[in-house]
């Protein structure tokens, strides 16, 4: 397996005691890099946001984290913590937990707790935020043509005592 070869090479050539971090985009919903037979494809953040259940978001993070660890991956480039405006722009769309910053923070923190419980590092993304752009940065260079969405949604993170993972 390629992963075993990379891990072996990294351990033989390591400059220090830190383990190799192998990352992937496995968000659930429409962005799942592990699109392999036998890998459960979970609903995206918008579905979790609609459910509004932190326990469910944590379970989704744990399930994804468990699948990542099973194939040797240690770092997930998720969750998306952007808020989105409606109609949802292409860049974020269903990848967002919703439009309320506090609710997004709580659900994202729960998802992170699930990943961490499975032994997988998380990445809260994107900064300053993709919620106000119209193109997907995976396919084109985005330009934010006005600052209002940034000031409104993205410049003031609202961590709460309960949202800290």
At 116, which helix (H) or strand (E)? helix 101-117
User: What is the reported pLDDT for 158?
Assistant: 53
The answer to whether 119 and 72 have CB atoms below 8 angstroms apart is no
The residues near 138 (Cβ < 8 Å, ≥ 6 apart) are: none
- Which residue ranges form the domains of the chain, and what is each CATH number? 22-163 (3.20.20.300)
Helix axes 54-70, 101-117, angle to 10 degrees: 40
Q: Output the six-digit token pair for 160.
A: 């709460």
Residues 121-160 have pLDDT tens digits of 999 998 666 766 777 777 888 776 565 555 555 544 555 5
Say if residue 36 is exposed, middle or buried (CB neighbours under 10 Å; 0-12, 13-18, 19+). Answer: exposed
Residues 53-92 have pLDDT tens digits of 999 999 999 999 999 999 889 999 999 998 887 665 667 7
User: What is the reported pLDDT for 155?
Assistant: 47
User: What is the reported pLDDT for 13?
Assistant: 77
Residues 102-128 have pLDDT tens digits of 999 999 999 999 999 999 999 999 866
Query: Full-prediction pTM beyond 0.85?
Result: no
Residues 13-64 have pLDDT tens digits of 777 777 778 899 999 998 889 888 888 999 999 999 999 999 999 999 999 9
Alpha carbons 147 and 90: distance in angstroms, whole number = 18
């Amino acid at each position: 397996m390629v992963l075993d070869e990379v891990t072996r090479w990294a351990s033989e050539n390591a400059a220090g005691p830190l383990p190799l971090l192998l990352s992937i985009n496995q968000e659930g919903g429409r962005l799942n890099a592990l699109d392999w037979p036998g890998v459960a494809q979970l609903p995206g953040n918008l579905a979790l946001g609609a459910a509004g259940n932190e326990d469910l978001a944590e379970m989704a993070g744990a399930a994804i984290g468990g699948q990542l660890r099973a194939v040797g991956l240690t770092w997930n480039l998720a969750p998306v913590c952007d808020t989105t405006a409606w109609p949802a722009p292409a860049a974020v769309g269903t990848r967002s937990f919703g439009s309320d910053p506090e609710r997004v923070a709580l659900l994202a923190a729960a998802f992170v707790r699930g990943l961490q419980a499975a032994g997988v590092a998380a990445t809260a993304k994107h900064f300053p935020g993709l919620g106000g752009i119209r193109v997907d940065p995976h396919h084109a260079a985005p330009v934010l043509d006005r600052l209002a969405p940034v000031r409104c949604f993205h410049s003031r993170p609202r961590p709460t005592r309960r949202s800290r993972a």
